[in-house]
């Protein structure tokens, strides 16, 4: 039992919940914990003892759990998205009073959060949907936090969040009040979409270096470690270098080579691509990373297809082709960086479009700031994104920020060389290729869309606009074409 009321409660003690509870306690806030399966409660309390006698107090029933928290009570839930969240809310809210607050820290669909916030308001309770990024390590030592919903609820817990979040020396704690409604969940969803793009681009860089450059795992480890000292310095590059260094504990060789090439997913990447389509925002890098995961799942079909197409001469190209390793490594680094700019640009444009649609007033520079630490996409490069939006909060696209434009221009040749080499060698680089196509489409004054409009008007009388005269036009293309054939 706690000596007096605790400062906050946490319900849902899977790994993320346990780690966040211990993090909160370690920062000096006594915390009550509850889980439907009571063994998890005892396990968390044991961990708290072992990790420095932290002020974590366990409860086996919801009533005594809620009653142990000081008023106005604040409870964080970390349970699986969907129905389990509604069940947990019902269980807890039965014992809560006017002005108490529930925070959902899971990866929830933003509209569910908006529905729940309305339902809670009718019960005179406050509600927040809070994205939490950083995995179990981040939850324990400092995640990036994206709370959205009731501003009053945020104020109740701000002192805790500021201490619990990752701390970045020059820019502060990785938390900010995101905005109204489901904005916190939406921002976390797009963060995950950007993460999909990042991981896909890194895997393509690996594939090109390994398949065309013939780099060994030890060489790959050295390359990624080196990259992590420069412009690509980031959590994902750092862990990638680590992965190449890990030997298999069951057999000879490196563990990475024994991992089955089928990617799992929880759904946030799919939601991001669906939202991009809904909002008419191009997000081809993120979409291609989702497609790559779908295709990776077709392992048996791919094995069969590899037999059918084994005789194609491109595979011979790979074995015969001699590349200059140093030059290839340098080119791939530049291609990866340029592709990454496109992926983040797409994510930011998506957040902005939703913010406009919903009237959330989201600050893109501030989002880049809170992603600088704690979260999975944390990277030195986010500081430059923040500065780009500081320079111009209404920036149409990251690509046209003067600094980023210069970076892309400098890397363009290397980027094209890598994509060309991959295409000519039969190595698929959907992420890098679609990033390049996005850039090439965006930078062109005139596109072949005029032909598409002409086709639409020909078969469906959809009308078209002209470049030289105002207004909408329709042409009887079919009749004119028919007459000219007579």
Cα angle value 152/185/107 (rounded, 5°): 120
**What are the binding residues?**
12-17, 35-37, 79-81, 107, 133-135, 191-192, 196, 266, 293, 456, 462
Q: 36 Cβ partners below 8 Å, 6+ apart? A: none
> Which class does domain 448-484 fall in?
mainly alpha
pLDDT class for 1, splitting at 50, 70, 90? low
Task: Compute the half-sphere exposure of residue 415: CA atoms within 13 Å on the CB side of its CA.
Answer: 26
Q: Which residues are catalytic?
A: 188, 195
How do residues 58-73 score in pLDDT, each as one tens digit? 999 999 999 999 999 9
For 188-443, CATH number out of 1.20.200.10, 1.10.3720.10, 3.40.50.11540, 1.10.1040.10 equals 1.10.1040.10
Does residue 23 surpass a pLDDT of 70?
yes
CB contact at 8 A, 10 and 78: yes
Tens-digit pLDDT profile for residues 118-134: 999 999 999 999 999 98
The single residue listed with the structure tokens 């701000």 is 158
Residue 279: is its pLDDT beyond 70? Answer: yes
Contacts of 193 (CB under 8 A, 6+ apart): 268, 269, 271, 272, 273, 283, 286, 347, 350
106 near 79, Cβ under 8 Å?
yes
Residue list for the binding site for substrate: 107, 133-135, 191-192, 196, 266, 293, 456, 462
Average pLDDT of the segment spanning 462-480: 95
- 356: Cα separation from own chain's centroid: 20
Look at residue 13 and tell me whether its pLDDT is greater than 90. Answer: yes
CATH 1.20.5.320 domain range(s) in the chain: 448-484
Domain(s) labelled CATH 3.40.50.720 in the chain stretch across 8-177
Q: In whole numbers, what is the pLDDT of the chain averaged over residues? A: 94
Residues of the chain with CATH 1.10.1040.10: 188-443
Q: Are 72 and 99 contacting, i.e. CB atoms less than 8 angstroms apart?
A: yes
What does the block give as tokens for 65? 């759990």
Which residue ranges make up the annotated binding site for NADP(+)?
Answer: 12-17, 35-37, 79-81, 107
The rounded distance, in Å, linking the Cα atoms of 320 and 302 is: 24
CATH class for domain 8-177?
alpha beta
As a residue count, the chain comes to 486
Q: Express each pLDDT in 407-437 by its tens digit.
A: 999 999 999 999 999 999 999 999 999 999 9
**399, 385, 409, 394: which is closest to 442 by C-alpha?**
399
pLDDT at 312 over 80: no
Question: Do 30 and 6 contact (CB within 8 A), yes or no?
Answer: yes
CB 425: neighbour CB atoms within 10 A? 17
Is residue 25 within 8 A of residue 50, CB to CB? The reply is no
State the angle between helix axes of 183-207 and 284-296 in degrees (0 to 180), rounded to the nearest 10. 70
Per-residue pLDDT, averaged over 472-486, amounts to 90
Alpha carbon 397 to its chain centroid, in Å, reads: 18
């Amino acid at each position: 039992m706690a000596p007096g009321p605790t400062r906050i409660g946490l319900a849902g003690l899977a790994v993320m919940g346990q780690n966040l509870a211990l993090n909160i306690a370690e920062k000096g806030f006594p915390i009550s914990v509850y889980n439907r399966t009571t063994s998890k409660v005892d396990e968390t309390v044991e961990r708290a003892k072992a990790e420095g006698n932290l002020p974590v107090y366990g409860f086996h029933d919801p009533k005594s759990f809620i009653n142990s928290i000081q008023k106005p009570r604040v409870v964080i839930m970390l349970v699986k998205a969907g129905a389990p969240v509604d069940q947990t809310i019902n269980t807890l809210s039965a014992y809560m009073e006017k002005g108490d607050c529930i925070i959902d820290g899971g990866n929830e669909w933003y509209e569910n959060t908006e529905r729940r916030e309305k339902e809670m308001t009718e019960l005179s309770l406050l509600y927040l949907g809070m994205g939490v990024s950083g995995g179990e390590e981040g939850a324990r030592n400092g995640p990036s936090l994206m709370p959205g919903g009731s501003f009053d609820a945020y104020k109740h817990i701000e002192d805790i969040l500021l201490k619990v979040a990752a701390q970045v020396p020059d820019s502060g704690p990785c938390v900010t009040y995101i905005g109204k409604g489901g904005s916190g969940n939406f921002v976390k969803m797009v963060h995950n979409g950007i993460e999909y793009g990042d991981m896909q681009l890194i895997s393509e860089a690996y594939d090109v270096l390994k398949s065309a450059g013939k780099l060994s795992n030890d060489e790959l480890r050295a390359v990624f470690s080196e990259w992590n000292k420069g412009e690509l310095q980031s959590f994902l590059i750092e862990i990638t270098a680590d992965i190449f260094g890990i030997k298999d504990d069951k057999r000879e060789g490196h563990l990475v080579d024994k991992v089955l090439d089928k990617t799992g997913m929880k759904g946030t990447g799919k939601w991001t691509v669906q939202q991009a389509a809904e909002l008419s925002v191009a997000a081809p890098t993120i979409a291609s990373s989702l497609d790559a995961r779908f295709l990776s799942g077709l392992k048996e079909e791919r094995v069969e297809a590899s037999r059918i197409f084994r005789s194609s001469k491109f595979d011979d190209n790979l074995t015969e082709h001699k590349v200059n390793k140093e030059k290839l490594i340098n080119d791939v680094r530049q291609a990866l960086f340029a592709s990454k700019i496109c992926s983040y640009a797409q994510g930011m444009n998506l957040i902005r479009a939703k913010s406009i649609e919903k009237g959330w007033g989201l600050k893109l520079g501030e989002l880049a700031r809170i992603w600088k630490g704690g979260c999975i996409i944390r990277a030195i490069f986010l500081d430059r994104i923040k500065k780009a939006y500081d320079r111009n909060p209404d920036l149409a696209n990251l690509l046209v920020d003067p600094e980023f434009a210069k970076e892309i221009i400098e890397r363009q040749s290397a980027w094209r060389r890598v994509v060309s080499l991959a295409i000519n060698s039969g190595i698929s680089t959907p992420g890098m290729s679609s990033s390049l196509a996005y850039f090439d489409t965006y930078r062109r004054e005139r596109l072949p869309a005029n032909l598409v409009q002409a086709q639409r008007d020909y078969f469906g009388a959809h009308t078209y606009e002209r470049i030289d005269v105002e207004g909408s036009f329709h042409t009887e293309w079919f009749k004119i074409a028919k007459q000219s054939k007579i």
